[in-house]
Chain A
């Protein structure tokens, strides 16, 4: 199963990025082999609608699960019908957190926020 994780380093032993829509990259991790590839997040510098564009990228990657610390409403509105499960990230490296997911130790991401529309992280 493919698991998507937002990150700022293309490294499975690196940390999970704090935001979803404007993360620099997504790491797509294969949960069985722990092999991974990275995708550039074209939405990182979007003027608006970054969450939607980022969600589109994750949905198109074929990921079935997204592990992120938080997620906006618009992004969730794309990811959920696309069949991507939203899981709440905890502290640790990407590899550790994916491992916790495999053990069933992560919670689903319930606190979808209204979004940072109009704001930019720079």
Chain B
């Protein structure tokens, strides 16, 4: 089963949940798609055996061929090209690598070249397969890195995807093809506000979902109320406790240091399988 761990805001506990989940089920694949701040490696401490650059295509001028027709400038919906003083200017960071400018140029004055926007690293942490992507600083979009990370994921064993925060392009790219969305939320008004947005995203993709309430405080029902209202199962609570915060701040996994958490996260995985299975059945009955 492919699970993506999402939250509407940063700091809710996606990585806490994702790494402990990956650590608690056998032969899991952990993929950190939070390419702007991939920090799952701090907890899983993998040995990296494979590093690869991720390149995207961007146009480059071939001098003396441009006749100044500006078809490339007019074509580009992202305004990655401008025409100034009889010459085409290119803004590579705005380019979405569609290749259209090269195709519409009647004189062959543009060609595509590779531009490196980050790296992908792969390795092993115990019996967990590990991969993460790192977006180079100043690059506006990590979507190509996420595509690269998820390209060779096959159906079968447990795959845990640590998603970027929020509900924008990179989060959506990370969700593609997932069987289950695990939404991590804090029991605060901010947490619930963001949970609502990311829950909306799972509805767009029609992927079954469940919630983990992190930093749970007894008597605080704000997140539970929301889940009840929208009929979203609350699959686990991680309490607001000093020892959990301390372990996390030191880069240690609670499922390794506190034995019952390994069982709790394994049970969480089973619960997700059950919810996903139920929804698959109810879908096929429709």
Bound complex: CA A49 to CA B90 (Å):
12
Q: Is the CB of B79 within 8 A of A43?
A: yes
Q: Does B73 contact A (CB under 8 A)?
A: yes
Interface string of B73-106 (1 = CB under 8 A from A): 1001111101111000101001000000000000
Given the complex of chains A and B, what is the CA–CA distance between A77 and B91 in angstroms?
Answer: 9
A55 proximity list for chain B (CB < 8 A): 82
Can you list 8 residue pairs at the A/B interface with Cβ under 8 Å?
A52-B79, A52-B82, A52-B94, A56-B79, A74-B91, A74-B94, A77-B91, A78-B84
Residues of B within 8 A of A16 (CB): none
Contacts of A46 in B (CB 8 A): 79
Residues of B within 8 A of A77 (CB): 89, 91
- Contact between B82 and A56 (Cβ–Cβ < 8 Å)? yes
Q: State whether A82 touches B84 (Cβ < 8 A).
A: yes
Q: Which of B73, B77, B79, B83 has the most CB of A within 10 A?
A: B79
Q: How many residues of B contact A (CB 8 A)?
A: 14
Contact yes or no, B80 A49, CB < 8 A: yes
Q: Categorize the interface residue count of chain A.
A: 10 to 19
A120 within 8 A of B: no
Asked whether B78 lies within 8 Å of A47 as measured between CB atoms, the reply is yes
B140 touches A (CB below 8 Å): yes
- Chain A residues in 8 Å Cβ range of B80: 49, 52
- Give A83 to B84 CA distance when docked, in angstroms: 9
* C-alpha spacing A83/B76, complex, angstroms: 23
**Chain B residues whose C-beta falls within 8 Å of the C-beta of A52 in the assembled complex:** 79-80, 82, 91, 94
Q: Which A residues have a C-beta under 8 Å from some C-beta of B?
A: 43, 46-50, 52-53, 55-56, 59, 74, 77-78, 81-83, 117-118
Task: Write the chain A residue with the least CB distance to B138.
Answer: A114
Q: How far is the CA of A59 from the CA of B70 in the complex (A)?
A: 14
Contact indicator A81/B79 (Cβ below 8 Å) = no
Q: Say how far B130's CB is from chain A's closest CB, in angstroms.
A: 30
Other 20 A-B pairs with CB < 8 A, given A49-B91, A52-B82: A43-B79, A46-B79, A49-B78, A49-B79, A50-B79, A52-B79, A52-B80, A52-B91, A53-B79, A55-B82, A56-B73, A56-B84, A59-B84, A74-B91, A77-B89, A77-B91, A78-B84, A78-B89, A82-B85, A83-B85
